[in-house]
A and B are shown apart, each in its own frame.
Chain A
């Protein structure tokens, strides 16, 4: 199993989100360390979205709409609904929030991101169906819009959630 290289690859850069209802679309976030990616997929309308969050909290930001979890999560959920997804029946999966560096405070940011994401979803009555959070390995993630598969690639493995 390998991650896909194709023209229908949509990349969520740091602080960005991508959405699609196209069956051949692959939504990707590259090189997550302490950042956290949230994937959402509605099994009925087959609408998918991937958001690449950076930090737990901060002001709404037009340049990076999902920079912060507390203000960006609703932006992401509203964008999914606008695209035709129903968030309450969508499958939510997350990955990232690792501690890449043990010096310089890297440890704390990943952990805080994971806690903030879980708390922010819970506040909205939502839960993660699956997650690969923490640890000390970088991850690239890919959501397959056709079937909702969430692939997580590290230097040593590719797993599917």
Chain B
């Protein structure tokens, strides 16, 4: 069953997703010990190729942390960073955990190369950020939302996103995409959080918010 959201219904979803995305930004900020600016989230119904454009184009290289959303609400969440930003974030995260002498050397020759510690720190950052989003959403739901274990990949954005998009477009031409950008101004780190819910599973959220039928 495909749920068609009215404009009012979409506004309710957008408001709830917006609050959850701000929580996600706060979680990322507290992990880094920094204040993170969260841009006003966008929620839009768009085609698969529009989503690729929103991610910077299919060939742009990203470090992506992917978390599947299962349970009462289903879909996909991705936290994306440009490789140099991901390196800066990893260094900040690791500096908080390790002594200065124990820090891995920042790669200057190959921005696409990450050591295991960096990948692990970034995977955890994605996991914490996306879990904060889902926890906020879960406060409105009567049934649990469960994240899958996080997976981190460094790849072309199109390649990372297409499996996710294929899961959503098999019986629809458009997907519902929620996106926000996190900025840590002083450290010049930008990250993009994408949440792509299965439209047919949004009914449970609308129902819980009392927005069904509006």
Contact = CB atoms under 8 A, between A and B. Distances in A.
A87 interface: no
Nearest to B48: A14
A138 B156 contact: yes
Interface residues of A, number: 32
A103 B151 contact: yes
Contacts of B57: 30-31
B169 A54 contact: yes
Interface residues of B, number: 34
Interface stretch (B34-42, B92-100, B129-137, B158-166): B158-166
User: In terms of DSSP, what is the predominant structure of the interface of chain A?
Assistant: loop
- Majority secondary structure, B binding face: mixed
A54 B112 CA distance: 27
A138 B163 contact: no
Nearest to B149: A103
B155 interface: yes
Interface stretch (B9-17, B58-66, B138-146, B177-185): B58-66
B170 A103 contact: no
A103 B153 CA distance: 12
Contacts of A64: 173
A13 B49 contact: yes
A131 interface: no
B165 A104 contact: no
Interface pairs A-B: 5 shortest CB-CB? A31-B158, A138-B159, A31-B58, A106-B163, A33-B159
Given A54-B166, A109-B166, A137-B159, 6 more contacts: A13-B52, A33-B163, A100-B159, A101-B160, A104-B163, A155-B112
